[in-house]
Amino acid sequence: MALVPVAEALARLLDGAAPLTGESVPLADAAGRVLAEPVVALRTQPPFNASAMDGYAARSADVASVPAQLEVIGMAPAGRGFSGTVGERQAVRIFTGAPLPEGADTIVIQENARDLGNGKIEVTEQTAEGRNVRRRGLDFGGGDMLLEKGRVLDAAALSLAASANHPSLNVVRRPLVAIIATGDELLPPGSKLGPDQIISSNAYGVAAAAQSVGARALDLGIAADRKEAIAALVRKAVQASADVIVTLGGASVGDHDLIHDVLTGEGMRLDFWKIAMRPGKPLMFGRLGNVRCIGLPGNPVASIVCSQLFLKPLLARLGGRGFRQDVRTARLGTAMPANDVRQDYVRAVVREDAGALIATPFGIQDSSMLKMLADANGLIVREPFAPAAEVGAECSVLMLR
């Protein structure tokens, strides 16, 4: 099978991917979720003309010239309005949020009123009609469109939905990613290692990448290098209703690289296997019914880079989210040799200098070196057959943070 270009591989992986079905969740659990349908106001806000300040509800005609003496005939705290009517040269003590009493059309703020005792006040500043009054429906009216489908529910959106009297919202179901590591040499962190064993680290990075775009991650653990062990975890992923199965390692062509055989044996229809990129050449993609299967390379750096390029865009689309890689233009901090047939993603440190970005690649690019990846904040993207480039040459950088 020929090497598939990166852009073509991504297009094939995303083909037919659409937001998952909606589910209703309580408002308290909806933070960060994506709306599956628009939100329409179930009420008017504010539902009445309301005071915007603490002070006195009065008639603007009575405070058009000052000083003016008014008789205080009652009180209107928030949540309990004054039931009477404000007449000529009368006022009601009112607090923020309380309904404006009938007959009143303005609020004299308390700083502009002096208590004379015996139920009377003296207004010291003119107050025009409608001053410090929030009119009914100022924010929105019943039936108004408040939030569009696809909106990520942040603090403001959630508060708006709550004020519109929605106790729950219909949101896109979060994609479930089942992660299966493979390899007899792997043990979980904290294990006592034998002389031929290493720590299984890739699953944690892949899970973090999935969660960063709103997906759920289900770590199914480590499968031994036996077909039956791998098949058992694949079936477990299907039983868990995973939307995506990610396997780690075992997707190459060695005698112990069994993922392809197991997945096709379980019914997967292979789409592609091997991409023209570095790191990440042995990436595999296929479909097992409605489940998308991605075989990531076992090398840690390749696994994380492929998660950034392929897994995150897929999960974002399934979760109804927009996603765009942060690619910027920079200048090379060191010279780079000509590239070969594969698209190269070179770990680099990107810094700003005199308003321009300078990208300096690390001298070693071994795909097992996680510390270098953690230190890098960008990947220099070199197209296939790119010629040698000198210091200061323009380059494209995929920012990682």
Cα(214)–Cα(153) distance, rounded to whole angstroms?
12
Smallest Cα–Cα separation from 315: which of 19, 8, 9?
A: 19
Cα(266)–Cα(260) distance, rounded to whole angstroms?
10
Amino acid identity for residue 333 in this structure: G
The H-assigned helical ranges of 221-258 are 227-239
Cα(173)–Cα(167) distance, rounded to whole angstroms?
18
Cα(158)–Cα(164) distance, rounded to whole angstroms?
10
34 strand-pairing partners: 152
Predicted model pTM: 0.90
Residue 31's alpha-carbon distances to 5, 26, 168, 169, 214, in angstroms, are 37, 10, 11, 11, 11
Q: Do 52 and 109 contact (CB within 8 A), yes or no?
A: no
Q: Do 117 and 74 contact (CB within 8 A), yes or no?
A: no
E strand or H helix that includes residue 262: helix 259-265
4 strand-pairing partners: 275
Q: Note down pLDDT in tens along the chain; length 401 residues.
A: 689 999 999 999 999 999 999 999 999 999 999 999 999 999 999 999 999 999 999 999 999 999 999 999 999 999 999 999 999 999 999 999 999 999 999 999 999 999 999 999 999 999 999 999 999 999 999 999 999 999 999 999 999 999 999 999 999 999 999 999 999 999 999 999 999 999 999 999 999 999 999 999 999 999 999 999 999 999 999 999 999 999 999 766 554 568 999 999 999 999 999 999 999 999 999 999 999 999 999 999 999 999 999 999 999 999 999 999 999 999 999 999 999 999 999 999 999 999 999 999 999 999 899 999 999 999 999 999 999 999 999 999 999 99
